[in-house]
Amino acid sequence: MKKSLISLCLIPLFSQAANQVDSLADKIEPQVIEWRHHFHQYPELSNREFKTAAYIADYLKSLGLEVQTGVAKTGVVAILDSGKPGPVVGLRADIDGLPVPERNDLPFKSTQIGEYNGKEVPVMHACGHDTHISMLMGAAKILTEMKDQLHGKVKFIFQPAEEGAPTGEEGGAELMVKENVLKNPDVDTIFGLHISAGADTGTIGYRAGGIMAAVDPFKIVVKGKQAHGAYPWMSVDPIVTSAQIVMALQTIISREVTLIDDGAVISVGSIHGGNRSNIIPEEVELVGTIRTLNPKARDLIYEAMQRKVKAIGDSMRATTELTLPLDYNYPITYNEPSLMAEMLPTLQRTAGSDHVHEVKAVTGAEDFSFFQDQVPGLYLFIGGKPLDVPADKAPAHHTPDFFVEDASMKLGVKTLTNLTIDYMKAHASK
């Protein structure tokens, strides 16, 4: 009964704050769109977001926030202190673009050129990070204006290199965690959003548990004995051995992973070996990726790959070397179920219950998972597709035609703001 009375007492407070958030979001929307157009027109690649970071930092300083730059190379972190006791809420946006040429005919189309792994490349915000930055800047503006209603602190985290640091460099959320971005003050929970080009504007997609996959690249080197192609019995054939390994890897998914619980993927994306039609080579190299949605499946695949690769190599008299993970790996983007249940009413109130949908997990990955490995967090999808465009006609992420509409961002601003306010009010006694 006591808990119910407390909840009832909070309802007018939530309603009052929500109305104010709606009003301020309407007011700031033109500025959010202006920011988005700027960032879209001038994208920068991972760990090279110098002008982007400076633009963000200048604005946050204008709000009177405590701002730190150069975090994880080019990241920006700002703190809003309400002056009252309460939890520390982290809000994160990624800020890097991709080496993709833009084909859209927009007034703010990108024509920028950058350098990627030693090559000159076109640069585009082909995954919507321009909208992520703008939505978080909008939330920072509103939360600053509503400071008197907050309880605790907000840590705004503008993260570089979500798409992956250049070869030989560290970056992204993993480096931010190493540099203690979740400390001093210690973050209690963290929220993040991703725009979705395939979901209707005005909608929110959520899922408790694994919502995006862990990613584990791997490399397999198969070493045999070279011979003339006319005399294969004189060889230890690494190509035939590699072919058996590729097929056997698929049986891990089809025959060992419990697919009724969660999906998993093993894909070989590259095979290199040999240089002539009549020479059986000495060595073949395979490179691929693993995607999993729960830790149990991940552990199973790690063990099964070691077992199968070695056994097939032994059976063919070849030697094998498995490197797993290869050079980087991301944990599962995991929405803490109890936190998801707690904040779902906030999402439903913000977008309207009919516009909040439970979605299937995806096998794409997100380095927001490094933050969730440290503190409970939620990662959500904000629809960005025009309503008159069928989902199967919407351009995909990471492509030259990627497009999301400006009108989608207001819901993102409101979502970040309401999640923060509601969480703080519910945990104000911390």
Write the pLDDT tens digit of every residue in 53-96.
999 999 999 999 999 999 999 999 999 999 999 999 999 999 99
Rounded Cα–Cα distance for residues 84 and 402 (Å): 43
Rounded Cα–Cα distance for residues 159 and 188 (Å): 18
Helix (H) or strand (E) holding 66: strand 66-71
* Token pair 């904040």 in the structure block, residue: 343
Which tens digit of pLDDT belongs to each residue from 179-237? 999 999 999 999 999 999 999 999 999 999 999 999 999 999 999 999 999 999 999 99
Tell which residue, 11, 333, 40, 67, has the closest CA to residue 191.
Answer: 333
- For residues 288 and 229, the answer to whether their CB atoms sit within 8 Å is no
pLDDT at 185: 97
- Going by pLDDT thresholds of 50, 70 and 90, the confidence category of residue 117 is confident
pLDDT at 327: 84
Average pLDDT over the chain, rounded to an integer: 95
Percent pLDDT > 90 in the chain is: 92
Quick one: average pLDDT of 306-319?
Answer: 98
Quick one: average pLDDT of 415-429?
Answer: 96
Quick one: average pLDDT of 155-173?
Answer: 95
Q: Where in the chain is the domain with CATH 3.40.630.10?
A: 2-212+332-426
Residue 135 class from Cβ within 10 Å (0-12 exposed, 13-18 middle, 19+ buried)? buried
- For residues 27 and 404, the answer to whether their CB atoms sit within 8 Å is no
Q: Which of 15-24, 157-166, 188-197, 350-359 has the lowest mean pLDDT?
A: 15-24
pLDDT at 160: 98
- Going by pLDDT thresholds of 50, 70 and 90, the confidence category of residue 260 is confident
Quick one: average pLDDT of 121-134?
Answer: 98
Rounded Cα–Cα distance for residues 230 and 247 (Å): 25
**For the packed helices 129-145 and 2-41, what is the interaxial angle rounded to 10 degrees?**
130
pLDDT at 11: 54
Residues with a catalytic annotation lie at: 96, 162
Q: Does domain 2-212+332-426 correspond to CATH entry 3.40.630.10?
A: yes
Q: ∠ at Cα 309 (303, 314), nearest 5°?
A: 125
> Is the pLDDT assigned to residue 2 strictly greater than 60?
no
Tell which residue, 64, 249, 252, 198, has the closest CA to residue 140.
Answer: 64
DSSP string, 89-138: EEEEEE---BS-------TT----EEEETTEEEE-B-TTSHHHHHHHHHH
pLDDT at 1: 37
413 versus 168: the higher-pLDDT residue is: 413
Across the strands, what pairs with 179? Answer: none
Rounded Cα–Cα distance for residues 115 and 294 (Å): 36
Domain boundaries 214-323, CATH class: alpha beta
pLDDT at 167: 87
- For residues 30 and 152, the answer to whether their CB atoms sit within 8 Å is no
* Token pair 């963290």 in the structure block, residue: 190
Cis preceding linkage at 185, omega within 30: yes
- For residues 417 and 21, the answer to whether their CB atoms sit within 8 Å is yes
Q: Where in the chain is the domain with CATH 3.30.70.360?
A: 214-323
pLDDT at 13: 57
